A and B are shown apart, each in its own frame.
Chain A
Amino acid sequence: MEELKSRHIVTLDYEKCKGCVTCMKRCPTEAIRVRDGKASVLYDRCIGCGECVRLCPHNAKIPSYDRFEIINDYKYKIALPAPSLYGQFNNLDDVNYVLSGLKKLGFDDIYEVGKGAELNSLVAQILLGRGNLKKPIISTACPVIQELISIRFSNLKENILPLLAPVDIAAKLARERAIRRGIKPSDIGVFFISPCPAKVFALKTGMNVSSPSVDGVLAVSDIYMRLLGEMKKIEYPENLSRMGVLGLQWASSGGEAAGVNRSKYLAADGIENVISILEAIENDTLLDIEFVELNACNGGCVGGVLNVENPYVAKARIRQLRIKFPQISSSLAETGKSLDFYSFEKSSEEVDANALDEDRGAAFKKLLEIQKMLATLPQNDCGRCGAPSCKAFCEDVVMGRVAADAKCPCINEK
């Protein structure tokens, strides 16, 4: 597997980048700067939300994922399709066409991530029933949320529902099934077909698991055309789908929250909305809510930037597919696993991307400097200096990210 140690979930196509400030102005964590006419990312602040990929008018932001061909490095290939994949096809009345198409593409086995989602929901119902989790309980099936909490809302770490994401559950169970079938462990390759680059980062770095549960992460957009080609050739699809509505509904915002079977829940999607909900939880103003589902993308996973279809179209299609599925098709008894199997295998790393300095005295001095400098600037946040706001410019000067004598272009003109 190709290593991905840092948060490089997005790289830049230097040729295509025009140095416009679109991504920089809209980055929710102010992680982008435009220096020497090109956008660059402060990776320790990047939460992998994919906004820059979505917004770049020149398609210069390239999300990371594995090339399809890497599946050939393994003799026994397992595909893990996300529920949102089913919303990418026009006039699809049977998801078995998609799954059979994946087999024709070269996969030996399929394990639907929606099934992992059902198991996650069933375990979550038990944990919520026990009533000893800190409320509101925040789901982090969307890895961006966990990143955001760790860099900006460390107060809320204890509110995180400590359950593995559906894809990790599916990957673990799929690998075990292959081993039971007598396949040599080193021959098994498990591949997630991902709607978003955040999952690429989470899976490659092994977020919440002791070692990465998958061997590669493929992009929906990358396999789409070849998959469509195979699907068209299928006359009678093999009956491969093993999931129910409980798992399917995770594709769009609100589906996961509905799955915990509690009335006092909230589901927010879109990174700006997510941040305002986290602020509200931190300020203790979100009363009477037990469970909070947050998704960085508009509409939930259907909104992921590696998808091919408009999120709302995909959502509508998935809603229409519901009648083709049983309500629930998984039970915890069928896997025979204890709750530990579904739980975080390690605690997340603390990354403080906010502190100006480890030493409070030094941080204090820096903040004073920032405030003093800020008072001299126009505070029009025009972005011409290459920082997203006047305050971020001051921060960059004080933190040494730009030369100490860097000047505001607006003031220089006057």
Chain B
Amino acid sequence: MDAIHLEYDVDGKNFVSAGSATESVKAQLKGLGINPADVRRVAIAMYEGEINMVIHANGGKAMVDIFMDKVIVKLIDTGKGIPDIEQAMKPGFSTADEDVRNLGFGAGMGLPNMKKYADECIIESEVGKGTTVTLITNFS
């Protein structure tokens, strides 16, 4: 069967609209009758990813494919890239600037939370070119 494909533009530096792609995906998953706990895992991981694109990459694209048994969320940006992915995965590590921290973001929990809530979290990044984060969540 085909996947349900959804695409969203994530607006850079717009903290107010950040999360709207996540909310749309949440609504679709609820429409499918997916277990609420799974919907929540997808939402938390995807929201972190959306916020990351806003903070670090001036926005990007979210491509979502929903299958019968899983959802694959790809967050694609053309930002500055992550030089050391292992370091970026450490809880509390953050390169967010003062302004962003003052807004309550940039606590260094983005990538760790994505890894924690999604079943698979694949990060591909090239410095100067951008980052693609793939989040796979299986439905119970």
Interface residues of A (CB under 8 A from B): 152, 154-155, 279-280, 282-285, 287, 352, 354-358, 360-361, 363-365, 367-368, 371
Contacts and interface: CB of A to CB of B under 8 A. Distances in A.
Interface string B30-43: 11111011011001
> Top 9 A-B pairs ranked by shortest CB distance?
A355-B33, A354-B30, A155-B36, A283-B47, A363-B32, A284-B44, A154-B36, A155-B40, A283-B43
A358 B33 CA distance: 7
Contacts of B44: 283-284
Listed residue (B19, B33, B44, B113) with the most chain A CB atoms within 10 angstroms of its CB: B33
Interface stretch (B21-29, B77-85, B130-138): B21-29
Interface residues of B, number: 27
A285 B47 contact: yes
A168 B24 CA distance: 37
A365 B1 CA distance: 9
Contacts of B34: 360
Given A282-B43, A367-B4, 15 more contacts: A152-B30, A155-B40, A282-B40, A284-B43, A284-B47, A284-B113, A285-B19, A287-B104, A352-B33, A354-B31, A355-B32, A360-B32, A363-B31, A368-B2, A371-B6
Contacts of B6: 371
A358 B31 CA distance: 10
A47 B100 CA distance: 37
B68 interface: yes
A224 to B, nearest CB: 40
B32 A283 contact: no
B5 interface: yes
B82 to A, nearest CB: 22
14 contacts: A282-B43, A283-B22, A283-B43, A352-B33, A354-B31, A355-B33, A356-B33, A360-B32, A360-B34, A364-B4, A364-B66, A367-B4, A367-B66, A371-B4
Contacts of B36: 154-155
Contacts of A352: 33
Contacts of B30: 152, 354-355
A368 B2 CA distance: 8
B100 to A, nearest CB: 14
B33 to A, nearest CB: 4
Interface in B1-16: 1-2, 4-6
A365 B68 CA distance: 10
Interface of B: 1-2, 4-6, 19, 22-23, 26-28, 30-34, 36-37, 39-40, 43-44, 47, 66, 68, 104, 113
Contacts of B32: 355-356, 360, 363-364, 367
Nearest to B105: A285
Contact of B4 (A155, A355, A368): A368
Contact of A155 (B27, B39, B113): B39
Nearest to B69: A360
Given A155-B40, A361-B68, A371-B5, A279 B23 contact: yes
Nearest to B3: A368
A282 B40 CA distance: 6
Contact of B33 (A283, A284, A287, A357): A357
Nearest to B47: A283
Contacts of A363: 31-33
Contacts of A279: 19, 23, 26
Contacts of B26: 279, 282
A343 to B, nearest CB: 24
B1 A364 contact: yes
B17 to A, nearest CB: 11
A283 B34 CA distance: 16
Nearest to A365: B1
A155 B26 CA distance: 12
A285 to B, nearest CB: 6
Contacts of A152: 30
Contacts of A154: 36
A367 B33 contact: no
Nearest to B51: A285
Nearest to B27: A354
A155 B37 contact: yes
Contacts of B39: 155
A28 to B, nearest CB: 13
Given A279-B19, A279-B23, A285-B47, A356 B31 contact: yes
